[in-house]
Structure 1
Amino acid sequence: MDSPLIRPDRGSRNDRKWKNILIKPSRQLKFAFIATVGLLTFLFSFFAFQLWVMSSVIRSVSTYIPLDSPLNDAAAQAMSSAWLAFTAFTLLFSFITLTATLIITHRIYGPIHAMRKQVELLIAGDLTARVQLRQGDEFKELASDLNKLGEKLSNENPSKF
């Protein structure tokens, strides 16, 4: 009798969609939200400090420069460019952080989901259930130990359990 293999992903490699990435949506999205808010807080603090320093320098220098000077226009353009760069970097890093946290949490919750299914099958009496994780997944040692436990239980007298 072949043992059923429990894999963490739901679908083939070519059929990956967001529903396959979000195994535990509430937990994964919560972690992604926290990481993104943390990144945004850091970025805002960093760029706010940079803009404060830049504006302080411009204010202190502008007292020595006439109002109609091209340097005042250049300073205003530099501040405008800094705000544009801040907005672009914030959006870019937010997207990267959100994507990275979803991928990382998928690599964590996928194996947990597969091992939980294996435990449910073992409890239900299917002692042939085995879990097979993907390359790069976490908890490979735990999955191996869980498979050894299933193997040991299936070799022992099931009436003991």
Structure 2
Amino acid sequence: MEKKYSRKILLVNPSFQFSFMKHSALMTLVVLTTFYLFKVYIFWEFKSIAIGTGIPEDHDLITLLSDRSYVVDMSFIIIAANIVLFMLGWALWVSHRVAGPIHRIRNEIKKIIDGQPLQRIGVRDHDYFHELKDSVNLLIEYFRR
């Protein structure tokens, strides 16, 4: 049996999905900012301890700390950008698993209202809201009687 082709729509409910992605990105940025501020504090503390022990500010250790701080900053920027992109992709994927079943159920209810024949609703195995699908299918079976 040939499988029916259906076009995949990533944004079935753009307002919900963009909102979910925005909140995921915001939480990710808060966590990354916390880690960055911790890094800044650690390097500042190392430099303060070194200077407090009497090491002059032009000493090689102080220069090394500044250089290492710069290298860690550049590495952090690259890693943070990758984490943000990954989290946005993950948020899109999860929001699609949430919005997809609701989209299908809403479309089926619109068909019922328009007088089209009642059909059972199906959702993919990895989607959420199987209980809602089952309840709507029970309602459809009730109206078929």
Q: Shorter chain as normaliser: what TM range? A: 0.7 to 0.9
- Give the CA deviation at 1:123: 2.0
Give the structure-2-normalised TM-score. 0.85
Equivalent AA in structure 1 for residue 11 of structure 2:
L
2: distance between equivalents of 1:55 and 1:113? 52
Whether 1:105 and 2:99 are equivalent positions in the alignment is no
**Residue 30 of structure 1, CA deviation:** 1.7
Structure 2 portions without partners, runs of 5+: none
Q: Which residue is 1:38 aligned to?
A: 27
Q: In 2, Cα distance between the equivalents of 1:94 and 1:135?
A: 28
Q: What is residue 84 of structure 1 aligned with on the other side?
A: 74
For this pair of structures, how many residues does the alignment match? 140
Shift of 1:10: 5.0
Q: Which runs of 4+ in 1 moved over 6 A?
A: none
| Percent identity over paired residues | 24
2:71 maps to 1:52: no
In 2, the alpha carbon distance for the partners of 1:48 and 1:83 equals 11
Whether the 8 Å contact between 2:101 and 2:127 is mirrored in structure 1 is yes
Specify the code of the residue in structure 1 equivalent to 2:20: F
> Is the 2:50–2:62 contact (alpha carbons within 8 Å) kept by the matching residues of 1?
no
Q: Which moved more, 1:72-81 or 1:57-66?
A: 57-66
Asked if the contact 1:35/1:98 (under 8 Å) is kept, the reply is yes
Higher normalized contact order (CA 8 Å, seq sep 6+, divided by chain length): 1
1:131-142 equivalences under 5 Å are 131-142=121-132
